[in-house]
Amino acid sequence: MNNWLLHHDLRAPDFGIPRTELYAEALAMTAWADQRGCPRVVISEHHGSPDGYLPSPFVFAAAVAGRTEQIRIMLSALVLTLRDPIATAEDVAVLDIISNGRVELTVVPGYVPDEFAMFGVPFDDRGAIFEEKLGALVAGLSGAAFEYRGQTLTVTPPPVQQPRPFVIVGGSAPRRAARLGDAYLPAIPDPRLGDAYVTECRRLGKGDGILLWPDGPMWVFVTEDPERSWAELAPHAIHEANSYGQWAAAAAPGANPWTPVGDIEELRRSDLYAVVTPEECVALAERLDSRSALKLKPLVAGVDPAIGWRSLELFVDRVVPALS
């Protein structure tokens, strides 16, 4: 089975486990999953979040690369608008060397105004800034000389992957993704976004492009006792859902599928999360769009690692063999 992944954002709210333990467990789980054939680990970033959401994905990804051998390392999503694209290209190239060619990127313009204020980047100009920086990032990763802001530059050393690491464009601008990226991941599963991307790819002579799809729950938790697990996960899942929902509601409704919830029953009805038995997980995987993946987040918002390990081991022992 190759359509599953681990996801780490390393949120650590006050009621969760200590941050040092959280980071260590995330690395241990990723190394364990690597040895059991997990295809991909996704590492996310945000900035200035009160719960310590991971702000430095390259540092953590380098630690992952040092502990693993096969798993693909996807930085998703990098808020490129807030970053220097030349320094980012250098970081990607070095990470690709450390990991021996296992790096993938999803880049986005960003949607949280406080983050833009933190970095002194005009929020209302983020689309144009993102496009300029994305062009420079892609050019820099090629290893060839390119023009950027009046200078001729070359990013060295070059990455292992040739012609360069894969760059996915996320968000709600499908034509931009067709022009500037290798693939498109819509922010929400709106068929109009996918159709617009394919139409623009065809107009540009790129065939149908590569359209990824955000199908299924935001994460899957496998358990023998869903009711017990919902009770254990409740404060962590509610914290995560409300944190994302508040970010989106403040400035960019529709920028992601999250909305704030009042209690765990409301969250359960939203279908954002799947807390399921192994048999139910197999059925879910069989219904999943082929362009999507089952997402496992065993340390969601600082949950007790013992709870996360139980889910991860049950998934590998009971779900993966059933779908192989």
- The pLDDT tens digits for 208-265 are 999 999 988 999 999 999 999 999 999 999 999 999 988 887 766 666 788 888 899 9
- Tell me the Cα Rg of the chain: 19
Dist CA 9 CA 301 (whole Å)? 8
pTM equals: 0.95
Domain boundaries defined on the chain: 4-323
Q: What's the pLDDT at 249?
A: 77
Q: What is the dihedral of CA 272, 47, 71, 34, to 10 degrees?
A: -80
Residue 296, CB-side half-sphere exposure with 13 Å CA sphere: 31
Dist CA 160 CA 85 (whole Å)? 19
Phi and psi of 242, rounded to 5°? -75, -35
Q: Where are the alpha helices (DSSP H) in 3-105?
A: 19-35, 57-67, 85-98
- The separation between the first and the last C-alpha atoms of the chain, rounded to the nearest angstrom, is 5
Mean pLDDT of 53-67: 98
Mean pLDDT of 127-150: 96
Percentage of the residues of the chain whose pLDDT score is greater than 70: 98
Q: For the domain 4-323, what is the CATH superfamily, name and number? A: Luciferase-like domain (3.20.20.30)
Q: What's the pLDDT at 256?
A: 73
- The identity of residue 116, as a single letter, is F
Tokens of 13: 């709210």
